[in-house]
Structures are given as structure tokens and as C-alpha cells.
Chain A
Amino acid sequence: MKMTPKLATLLILAALVLLAPFLFPSNFYYRVGALIFVNSIAVTGIVILTGYAGQISLGHAGFAGIGAYACALAPAHFGIHPALAVVLGAAISALLAWLVGRPILRLKGYYLGVATLGLGILISMMLNNERQLTRGPDGIEVPELGLRALLKGWGLDLTNGQFWYYFCGLCMILGAWLALNLHNSPSGRALRALHGSEVAARTVGVDVARMKLQAFVISAVYASVSGSLLALQNKFITPDVAGFMHSIEMVTMAVLGGVGSVLGAIFGAAILTLLPQVLTVFAEYEQLVLGLVMMLVMIFLREGLLPSILRKLRRKGE
């Protein structure tokens, strides 16, 4: 079999998921790993929207909020299984993205930024204010997914941390596989073409508005699933999941790592998820360091961390 970049990416991800636990000093790291994978799923959606199609969203955490609260509310109110609630959340996010995306995606650059920002803030505000439904800023508990008990019945006995680590890892690889397939499909080529120049793409017959909407909807689903997994894993969720800072975090992870490739963006997610864990020792300096890292990487390594590192390695190899 020929080693395509797609296959290489998937193999690298799978190897990392499987091998990393051998280096874990304690069980706590399963939890950190699972968090990295959850963020990676959201960030893969940003790769499709920003990396492929060149569109900006400063409100994608809103969709993560929808996914998360679907898992908290749907089982309690409609009695459906949490796994179905993930699908329901994704469907609602897709529908909302489709409805709002039409008018919003006509906007460009900063205007698109402020429109998506507004969308995200509206969602997060609803989660904060509709107390009788969401219990407001204090958060709400989320039911157990139940998959771990099922696996136990089949003879696969995992601790809670281990289960979520491998399950989210699997979901991340699945998400990466879908995104990589899209990259090489006619739709993916159309998206990358309109990223280069909308006018040029239009002249060769790309339905620019439709393709942008498609990318927006797909990335919303990624964000929603990521939010759902976070909620199910923590068994508790607060409206912060839909907040402005979470939107910024998603975009920053993707761009910092290298928004042009799935692997780069996931690398960014790993770095920015680990950074606060490392910095808890100097909690006072956390914001200072985070801000500094964001600025330095964007100034000196413009394509993102991973592409810049790879280029340096390649140059050394020659």
C-alpha cells in the first residue's frame, strides 16, 4: 500500500494514542489526554472552516454549548439515550449553522468575525439566562453514557479515565479521517479553491455560497460533538463551554499548531491543553505566559508550530 499523507496522518495519530499511556506517570494523564482529544475534534472542524475554506468564526463554542447541553437536557426531558443526545445536538447545531450561515457567510473578514461572535454570545447568554431549563451559570449534571458498563460486560474492564481516553482518541481519529477524506474530495478542492480566490473559484463553476455553507455546517457539527463528549466525560457542564474565550481557544489552538493541516491543528490543541497544566505551578503568571505564547508564535512562526518545525527539520536533512 502506498503511504499517502492521509494514511501517514492517521497512523501517527493512532500510534500517539496507543503509545502515550506507556509514558504516563499517573492515571491523571488519561484525563488530560482525553481533554486533548476532545479539543482536537473541535479544532479539526476549524481546520475545515478556516484552513480549507478560509472563513473565520469567533463563535464556534456556541455549537459546542449546544452539543453539551443536548447531552444534559435531552435525556432528562425526552428520556432519550445520551448517545442519541449527541446526535440530536449535532443535528440542532447543523440546522442552526445552516440557517444562520446563509446570511452570515456573505460577510468577509472582520465582519464575519463579529457576526459569528454575536451568534456565539447569544447562545452562551441563553444557556446562562434560561435558568428554569439550564440552571444558569452554576451548571447542570449530565447522565452517564453507559458505554463503559457495556464494554465491561464484554470483558473489557477499563477505568473511567482509560475509557474516556481511548474513546475520545477513537473519535478524534475518526474525525481526522473524515476531514482528510474531505480534503481530497471534489468538495475539498472547491473549498481550497475559494480560499485562494472566490472570484476565480466562481469562474470555474464552484458554487461559492453553497460550499462555504457546507464547510460552516460541517465544522459546527465537529464543535457540537466535541462539546457533547466534554459534557459526557465530565458528567457536568457549565455555560462556559459556549463562552467567547472557548471560541477563541478553539481558533487559537488550530492556528497556533498550523491551521492548514489536521495534524498541525491537533498538535496545537495538545500544546494549548497541556500549557495550563504545566502553568498551574505558576498560576499567577498563567495569563501572562499564554498571551506571550500566542503573540510570539503568530509573529515568528506564521504558518503555525508544526509546519514551521517540519520545515526546519527538512532543511536540516538536506
Chain B
Amino acid sequence: MSELLQFLFSGVTVGAVYALVALGFTIIYNASDVVNFAQGEFVMLGGMITWFAHQAGIPLPIAAFLAISITAAIGVAMNKLAIEPARGAPIVSLIIITIGASIFLQGAAQLVFDKQIHDFPAFSGNTPIRVGGATILPQSLWVIGGALAVFVGLWIFFTRTLLGRAVLATSNNRLAAQLVGINTNFVMTLSFALSAGIGALAGVLATPITLTAYNVGIAFALKGFAGAMLGGMGNPKGALVGGFLIGLIEALTAGYLSSQYKDAAAFVVILLVLFVRPQGLFGRKSTDRV
């Protein structure tokens, strides 16, 4: 029993990181119909910049804030320089552009920082908390709390604020949104800043547990993408549930079946779900316009 609890704890912790990445995917997808494969690099940048700044003597909270702001700015730059000029391009081209951006950011990170593995101290120490025979690190609580806080924040933003509704309107119909006076360019900028910032936050929160290096991004991107697809692309609730599910499936597979195939389990589940529900768990069935 305590064993199961232990696996659940670790699953929820990783799942929270995946959920944050999946939420980042969702925001950009909603605003621009682009699946941003560079999303994982935002996580990497969050961790690496925080480590770099912290090492240079800047206190951790300020370093984290810096990392999130800089990454958000990089997200905005990416939108302006790479995504907006390619509007209307076929999906394959967009996939290649964002993967190109991802490779570019990795290349830049290994030049600016280095190729070593890094971490920084956990926010509230490393004394494990005992719960029902299992233990959980205080940092895990930070990660899980972060994911939930971001989800609630986004929910309030999208349903309760004018700006958030403008983002939703743009994702529904760009032209119609423009016609009612929404600055859709600003909405795009905002979405990329938000998405990159959330990715960086995931990196800041997770690094004390998972460590970071210039090449950790792609794994986060694949899992987050899988989570977002599992829940149904474009649906924040789906992203949250999908991310946590992928984390839990991985942890349970690693615990009970085989740690080598833990990455496989998530993709087997996705294939099965997509066979039965091609639109994902929470996605609405799409109809084609002829």
C-alpha cells in the first residue's frame, strides 16, 4: 500500500511538470493553431537561466523571476520572428519551424551556458515529509502546487477577464475577433509570453528534483505534447488531466512493470485513446468544412 502511495507521489510530481508543459502547448495552440515543439526548451531555459543567475550570486527568488521574464521575452521574440511570418503555412512546415527553433535554442544554450548537468537548492529544504508510510519531498509540493495555481490562474484569466476572453475569441475566429476590435497581434504576443513563462516556471520548480542541462527540453516537449493530445488539444482542462495522467502512467509502469519501458507506457495509452477517441479525452469532435 505504501509502495503504491510512493509511486503515486512520484507520478503526480512528474505529472505536474508535464501538465505545465501541456498547458503551455494549449495556450499557443489556442491562439495560433500552432503546436510549439520548442515548448520543452522554455522549461530548459527556466532551469538553466535560474542556475546561471543563482550561481552569479543573485538570490534564488530573483534569479527565478529573471529566468521567467527572460524566457517569456524569448517566447515573444520567437512568435515575432518565426511564427508570425509563417502564418498560413501547412502543418508540416510549422512543425519544422518550431523544431528548428527548438534545435536553435539548444544550440544557443550550450554556447551561452555549457553542456554540464546543473541544479540549485530546493526551496524548502530536502527533508522528506512522511505521509501514510510513503515520503514526498517538499519540492514536489511546490511543483504540484505550481501546476494547480497556474491552472486556476488561467481559468480565472480566460473566463473572468476581458483580456482572457479576447484570447478565447481570437482562438475561435481570428477575423471575427479583429472585427469586434480585438488586437489579435497583441493576443498572440501575450499568448507566447504566457506560454513561455509557464514553461520556464515548470523548469524553475522542477530543476531541484529533475536537474537540468541544455538538452532536457525535447523529453519535456514530447511528454507535454502527449499529455495535451491525450486530454484533447486546445482544452486547458484536458491538458491538466492529460499531463497528470501521463506522469501517473509512467510512475506506475516504472514501479510495477518495467522502468525501461516507462516512456513507452504513455505512448501506448495515447495510441489506444486516439484509436477510440480520435479527438482526445476532452476534445470536441471536429467537423470539416468542405
Contact = CB atoms under 8 A, between A and B. Distances in A.
Given A129-B261, A291-B103, A298-B86, A118 B95 contact: no
Interface of B: 35, 82, 85-86, 89, 91-97, 99-108, 110-111, 218, 222, 225-226, 229, 233, 258, 260-261, 263-264, 267-268, 270-271, 274-275, 278-280, 288, 290
A308 to B, nearest CB: 13
A288 B270 CA distance: 32
Interface residues of A, number: 48
B104 A288 contact: yes
A298 B108 contact: no
With most chain A CB atoms within 10 A of its CB, the pick from B85, B100, B111, B226 is B100
Interface string A232-273: 000000000000100010011001100100000000000000
A287 B106 contact: yes
Contacts of B288: 198-199
Contacts of B104: 287-288, 290-292, 295
B95 A56 contact: yes
Given A111-B233, A259-B92, A294-B99, A288 B218 contact: no
A150 interface: no
Contact of B264 (A106, A110, A121, A286): A121
B111 A285 contact: yes
B97 A295 contact: yes
6 closest cross-chain pairs (CB), A and B: A291-B104, A294-B100, A287-B107, A288-B107, A118-B267, A291-B103
A217 to B, nearest CB: 18
A113 B274 CA distance: 12
Nearest to A59: B267
Nearest to A51: B92
B20 to A, nearest CB: 18
B290 A286 contact: no
Given A118-B267, A122-B267, A256-B96, 11 more contacts: A56-B95, A103-B275, A115-B271, A118-B268, A119-B271, A125-B260, A244-B218, A285-B111, A288-B104, A295-B104, A298-B97
A58 interface: yes
A143 to B, nearest CB: 28
The listed residue with most B CB atoms (<10 A of its CB), out of A106, A118, A129, is A118
Contact of A111 (B86, B99, B218, B278): B278
A299 B263 contact: no
Interface of A: 50, 56, 58, 103-104, 106-107, 109-111, 113-115, 117-119, 121-122, 125, 128-129, 197-200, 244, 248, 251-252, 255-256, 259, 284-295, 298-300, 302
B110 A248 contact: no
A32 to B, nearest CB: 22
Contacts of B92: 50, 56, 251, 255, 259
24 contacts: A50-B92, A104-B274, A110-B229, A111-B278, A111-B280, A114-B226, A125-B261, A129-B261, A198-B288, A248-B99, A285-B111, A286-B107, A287-B106, A287-B110, A288-B108, A289-B107, A291-B104, A291-B105, A291-B106, A294-B100, A294-B103, A295-B100, A298-B93, A299-B97
Contacts of B35: 110, 113
